[in-house]
C-alpha cells in the first residue's frame, strides 16, 4: 500500500475516524449485511471486519516492537490464512470489537512525536517508521471500509 506521507496529526484523526466507522458497522449491522460479500464473492462483511482487527493486532504489535527495540525485523503473516483460522463468520463481533478497541488504545499511547521516528524492517517494504506503520493501518482500513460501503450500496442500505 503506497503511503501518502500524511502529517502525524492527520494520521491520528483518520485512525480515530476509521475506528468509529468500524464500531458503527459492528453495532448497527445485522446478519443480513454481516454475511454479504462484494460482487466477487470473496470475504463477508464480518470477515472484512475480522481482517481489520487482525491488521490492528499485527501492525499495532509492530509499532510496539519499534518503540521497544531498535530496527526490529517484522515477522510476516498470511492475512488470508488468519481470517480462515479465526472463523470470523462464527465470531462474536462485539467481543472482538472490545479487543480491537483495547489494542487501538494501546497503540494510540505509543503514537507520540518521539516514537513516530523509530524504525523497524519490513521484509517486503524495507525500513518503516512508526509513522509509516500507523499510516499503513489507516490506509488499509480506509480501503476495506470502502469495500463495506460498496456492499451496503449494492444491497440498498
Q: Is residue 63 part of a domain?
A: yes
- Average pLDDT of adjacent 10-residue blocks, the chain of 157 residues: 84 97 94 87 93 97 94 91 95 94 97 95 92 96 95 83
Across the chain, the runs of DSSP E, i.e. the strands, are 72-73, 119-122, 126-129
Establish if 12 belongs to a structural domain: yes
Query: What domain range includes position 78?
Result: 8-154
| pLDDT given at position 43 | 93
- Domain of 146: which CATH number? 1.20.120.450
Domain count, the chain: 1
Q: How far apart are the first and last CA of the chain?
A: 29
Task: Confirm whether 46 is domain-assigned.
Answer: yes
Q: What gap in Å lies between CA 104 and CA 57, rounded to an integer? A: 8
What pTM was estimated for this model as a whole?
Answer: 0.93
Q: Is residue 59 in some structural domain?
A: yes
pLDDT of residue 5: 81
- Quick one: pLDDT at residue 1? 65
Domain-embedded: residue 45: yes
Whether residue 67 is contained in a domain is answered as yes
What is the rounded distance in angstroms from the CA atom of residue 87 to the CA atom of residue 51?
11
Structural domain contains residue 124: yes
C-alpha span between 43 and 50 (Å, rounded): 10
Q: Is residue 86 part of a domain?
A: yes
Amino acid at each position: 500500500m503506497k503511503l501518502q506521507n500524511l502529517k502525524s496529526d492527520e494520521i491520528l484523526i483518520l485512525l480515530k475516524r476509521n475506528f468509529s466507522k468500524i464500531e458503527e458497522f459492528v453495532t448497527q449491522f445485522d446478519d443480513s449485511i454481516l454475511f454479504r460479500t462484494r460482487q466477487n464473492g470473496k470475504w463477508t462483511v464480518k470477515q472484512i471486519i475480522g481482517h481489520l482487527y487482525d491488521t490492528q493486532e499485527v501492525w499495532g504489535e509492530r509499532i510496539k516492537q519499534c518503540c521497544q527495540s531498535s530496527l526490529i525485523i517484522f515477522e510476516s503473516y498470511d492475512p488470508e490464512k488468519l481470517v480462515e483460522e479465526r472463523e470470523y463468520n462464527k465470531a462474536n463481533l462485539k467481543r472482538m470489537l472490545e479487543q480491537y478497541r483495547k489494542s487501538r488504545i494501546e497503540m494510540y499511547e505509543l503514537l507520540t512525536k518521539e516514537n513516530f521516528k523509530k524504525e523497524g524492517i519490513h521484509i517486503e517494504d524495507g525500513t518503516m517508521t512508526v509513522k509509516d506503520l500507523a499510516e499503513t493501518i489507516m490506509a488499509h482500513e480506509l480501503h476495506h471500509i470502502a469495500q463495506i460501503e460498496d456492499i451496503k450500496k449494492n444491497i440498498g442500505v
